[in-house]
Structure 1
Amino acid sequence: MRTDEEPNLMPEQNRGPARPDYGAEAPRPTVLHQMGGIAGFVYSTVPVVVFVTANAFLPLPVAVGVAVATGLALSVFRLLRGERLVSAAGSLLGVALAAGIIAWTGSARDFFVIGIWASLAGFVVTFGSVLARRPLTGVIWNALHGGTWAWRSDRAVRVAHDVATLAAASVFGARFVIQQWLYLADSTGALGIARVAMGTPLTVLAALVVLWAFRRSTKRLIRTSR
């Protein structure tokens, strides 16, 4: 039984069909799962390692070709394992775009330029959503649960999503600052190391915080829907 003092998540629309019991609902595929899970992020770092290593011993065009071939091989391997085409293509798309930029500029450091500016975009979106009092993880959570819950009216839930979104913003911001500094210093090898070190490990840490915020929100949803 809910007391008057207990904050709650009430539907923004008071009328409509009865809501299902989310406690008994089959788990939905998460965004991370649809992207190939943690393994997908690991796969994305392999062409980076291959490119940096090959670039140290081979001419730039050959190093780029080896990286693209590695991305293609990984995509085929993931398709054979039964992964979705969108997930599997991730191993190839990024390195192919990077190869195109290198072909245009002729600079090895431009292999990393897409990731650097994508990190800046991610920081602007996530941090901006917190400033707008609509933290992105909360918006995503609400969309996954029908988009009708007044989650921002519950202080505990809103704060949880502020923390989760700021965790994601911190990862994006750190990646941009450090990698942009190395880019301007024209340190391709250090860029590769930073890309790998700040890739999957930081993604996992941020994902854990987001998962905590999602679970906290869902527990309150279950409690108030009964």
Structure 2
Amino acid sequence: MSSAGSSPHGPTEAGTTASGGSGPDAAADVVRPLAGDDDRAAAEAAADPPAKPTLLEQMGGPMGMVDSAVPVAVFILGNTLGGLGWGIGTALGSAVVLAGIRLARRKPITQVVSGIFGVGIAAFIAYRTGSAKGFFLLGIWSSVAYGAAFALSILVRWPLVGVIWELVNSRGTAWRADRRLVRRYSLATGVWVLVFAARFFVQNFLYDQDEVGWLATARIVMGYPLWLVALGITVLLVRGHLRSRPTAAPAAG
């Protein structure tokens, strides 16, 4: 006589099912850990978003310095060796080559277009004026426009350094309520006004003196190198105040 508990298969099947070895419950037990792994991976991805490009990277990085100097250098070389036509041709050719390299490096298309556009306009002005120094007129008067815009932004209490900094860091316009921060941004914007003023006065003087070689040198030296100095001063002025600002207290749970 056998009882319900002494069946040769009953206890074994019951024990196997309870331990998750077979049946629908067992399949669910296998799926749950996998789903949990997916959730954890998604949570880790959300907690560690891709790093934003730095301001230097947005300006083109170290290669951006090379890209900005090459067309100027080859223009002067071509103009010296073969005249204005050769200078214009080599500058445009170098801009096209650099654009191809930018595309191959998967750089933003805006950098490609702006590079060709800037060199193209400079070459066109040189062609229309019939003078090698005309190649630098766009840069000279661009400094006036940028300097005026930065100075005006200080006067209307919307310093452009603050606008750009907060835009890059996605913090909106709440910074304008902090008077000390607005003052810091205004000082930093003033640094850039001085940069643009220096670029204009130095290069315009060399333009008037017909010093094309020195004008090209000033264009390169007062480009990215001077910008990096101004950028360093900007960071020192702004970050010191941002670090000293009290952080918001966590909400009581």
Determine which of 217, 227, 233 is the counterpart of 1:203. 227
Bigger mean CA offset, 209-218 vs 178-187: 209-218
Partner Cα separation in structure 2 for residue 171 and residue 61 of structure 1: 32
Q: 1:225 to 1:172 in 2, by over 3 A?
A: farther
Determine which of 91, 96, 109 is the counterpart of 1:72. 96
Structure (1 or 2) with the greater helix fraction: 2
- What percent identity do the matched residue pairs reach? 37
Give the secondary-structure state (helix, strand or coil) at the position aligned to 1:83.
coil
Partner Cα separation in structure 2 for residue 180 and residue 127 of structure 1: 20
Aligned residues: 203
Query: Gaps (5+ residues) in structure 1?
Result: 1-23
Q: AA paired with 1:147?
A: G
Other-structure match for 2:172: 147
Q: AA paired with 1:168?
A: W
Other-structure match for 1:100: 124
CA deviation profile, 1:7-62 (whole Å, cap 9, x unmatched): xxxxxxxxxxxxxxxxx876433554333134313311111011112211212111
Partner Cα separation in structure 1 for residue 50 and residue 237 of structure 2: 19
Give the secondary-structure state (helix, strand or coil) at the position aligned to 2:123.
helix
Asked whether the equivalents of residues 141 and 214 of structure 1 are also in contact (C-alpha less than 8 Å), the reply is no
Asked whether the equivalents of residues 203 and 215 of structure 2 are also in contact (C-alpha less than 8 Å), the reply is yes
Asked whether the equivalents of residues 98 and 111 of structure 1 are also in contact (C-alpha less than 8 Å), the reply is yes
Determine which of 157, 175, 187 is the counterpart of 1:133. 157
Asked whether the equivalents of residues 36 and 88 of structure 1 are also in contact (C-alpha less than 8 Å), the reply is no
Determine which of 61, 69, 79 is the counterpart of 2:85. 61
CA drift of 1:129 comes to 1.5
TM-score by length of structure 1 reads: 0.79
Determine which of 162, 176, 181 is the counterpart of 2:186. 162
CA drift of 1:136 comes to 1.0
Partner Cα separation in structure 2 for residue 123 and residue 67 of structure 1: 27
Alignment of 1:1-226 (within 5 A): 27-144=51-168, 145-149=170-174, 151-216=175-240, 218-219=242-243, 223-224=247-248, 226=250
Query: Gaps (5+ residues) in structure 2?
Result: 1-47
TM-score by length of structure 2 reads: 0.71
Kindly report structure 1 stretches of 4+ aligned residues shifted beyond 4 Å. Answer: 24-27
Asked whether the equivalents of residues 188 and 238 of structure 2 are also in contact (C-alpha less than 8 Å), the reply is no
